[in-house]
């Protein structure tokens, strides 16, 4: 389920186990992820120290000593599993990469669909890496605003739903939070992106920030319990206003239609046709 808030939550959960720790063992069990693991992946990582963990859009960044950064994307189904006592843990067939730290903690990258990726990049050239070079601004960054959205959406005829999913325009939003943001901003997902006026762009920017902030807060509050319970990071309980709620009453108006589901660029969109114009 990883969109920006989930990746942020995973990052925060990983920090206490990885930051400042040295990787004493790295095992690449299945290198054929969406982007194959780099040559000699395990060899290049073994013995390296994790200086700090960060996030860019939906990517986890582990900055290592020696000037390289490990870049992790969870795809659709990726998780990070933390196992304090690694020796006793069962291994799943989808455990593709395992990291063991100098404190004996195992961090396991598990991804059934293998849409995720792990790669290595020069830290001082991350911005120019092909994964990040064309990436838009962070929706939680200082530069994000209605004016920025207006500029990015100008002359775009694609539906606003599709524009918000385009990582080159804004980086980090996925299907769920785009639906939720448009609902909160009361903007129809079918509107051409370029048709939004300044007021609507302001409303949308505020809605995006609000939805993401609240999701991160929900993830953070569930993190403590969840890690202790199962070691899995990346999934947490969170309720949505419209996402996955086709046929339910709209939470904010008593319209006849309730929450509707349509398909835009092959993906489900949930919205209220009465409230969102």
| Residue ranges that bind DNA, judged by CB under 7 A | 1-3, 6, 34, 57-58, 73, 75-77, 93-94, 112-115, 131, 156-159, 162-163, 165, 167, 174-176, 193, 235, 265-268
Percent of residues in the chain assigned helix, strand, coil, to nearest 5: 30, 25, 45
Min dist. Cβ of residue 74 to DNA (A):
8
The answer to whether the Cα torsion of 61, 79, 21, 224 is positive or negative is positive
In whole angstroms, the minimum distance from the beta carbon of 176 to DNA comes to 5
Active-site residue flag, 79: no
Minimum distance from residue 127 beta carbon to DNA (Å)? 16
C-beta of 101 vs 270, nearer to DNA = 270
Active-site hit among 56, 58, 152, 203: 58
Which C-beta is closer to DNA: that of 105 or that of 241?
A: 241
Is 32 or 39 the residue whose CB approaches DNA more closely? 32
Task: Output 197 or 265, the one with its CB closest to DNA.
Answer: 265
Closest CA to 178 of 113, 253, 268, 239: 268
In angstroms, what is the minimal distance from the CB of 95 to DNA?
A: 12
Minimum CB–partner distance for residue 75 and DNA (Å): 5
Measured torsion, CA atoms of residues 61, 62, 64, 68, in degrees rounded to the nearest 10: -30
Q: How far is the CB of 177 from DNA (least distance, A)?
A: 8
* Residue whose CB is less far from DNA, 1 or 24: 1
Structure tokens at 96: 């593709």
Instruction: Identify the bridge partners of residue 244 per DSSP, sorted by sequence position.
Output: none
Expressed in angstroms, the distance from the first to the final Cα of the chain is: 28
168 is catalytic: no
Of 2, 137, 139, 189, the catalytic one is 2
* CB closer to DNA out of 195 and 274: 195
Dist. CA 108–CA 118, nearest whole Å = 12
CB 257 within 8 A of CB 272: yes
Cβ atoms of 60 and 132 within 8 Å: the answer is no
Cβ burial 150-167 (10 Å sphere, 16+ → b, else e) = bebbeebebbbbbbbbeb
Residue 15 appears among annotated catalytic residues: no
Which residue of the set 114, 206, 261, 267 is catalytic? 267
Q: Alpha helices, DSSP H only, in the chain?
A: 4-18, 41-45, 146-153, 160-165, 175-185, 198-230
Check if 3 is active-site. yes
* Catalytic residue ranges: 2-3, 58, 267
């Amino acid at each position: 389920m990883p969109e920006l808030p989930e990746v942020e939550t995973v990052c925060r959960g990983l920090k206490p186990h990885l930051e400042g720790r040295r990787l004493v063992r790295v095992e690449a069990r299945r290198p054929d992820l969406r982007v194959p693991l780099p040559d000699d992946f395990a060899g290049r990582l073994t013995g390296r120290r994790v200086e700090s963990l960060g996030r860019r859009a939906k990517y986890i960044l582990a900055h290592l000593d020696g000037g390289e950064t490990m870049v992790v994307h969870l795809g659709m189904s990726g998780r990070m599993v933390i196992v304090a006592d690694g020796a006793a843990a069962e291994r799943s067939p989808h455990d593709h990469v395992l990291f063991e730290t100098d404190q004996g903690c195992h961090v396991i990258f598990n991804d059934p669909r293998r849409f995720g990726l792990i790669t290595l990049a020069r830290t001082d050239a991350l911005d120019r890496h092909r994964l990040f070079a064309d990436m838009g601004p962070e929706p939680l960054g200082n530069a994000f605003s209605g004016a920025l959205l207006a500029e990015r959406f100008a002359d775009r005829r694609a539906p606003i739903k599709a524009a918000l999913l385009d990582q080159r325009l804004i980086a980090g939003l996925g299907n769920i939070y785009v639906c939720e943001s448009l609902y909160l901003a009361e903007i129809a997902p079918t509107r051409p992106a370029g048709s939004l006026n300044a007021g609507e762009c302001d409303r949308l920017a505020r809605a995006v920030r609000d939805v993401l902030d609240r999701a991160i807060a929900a993830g953070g509050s569930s993190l403590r319990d969840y890690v202790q319970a199962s070691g899995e990071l990346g999934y947490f309980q969170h309720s949505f206003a419209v996402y996955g709620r086709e046929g339910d009453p709209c939470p904010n108006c008593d319209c006849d239609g309730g929450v509707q589901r349509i398909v835009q660029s092959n993906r489900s969109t949930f919205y209220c046709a009465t409230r969102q114009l």
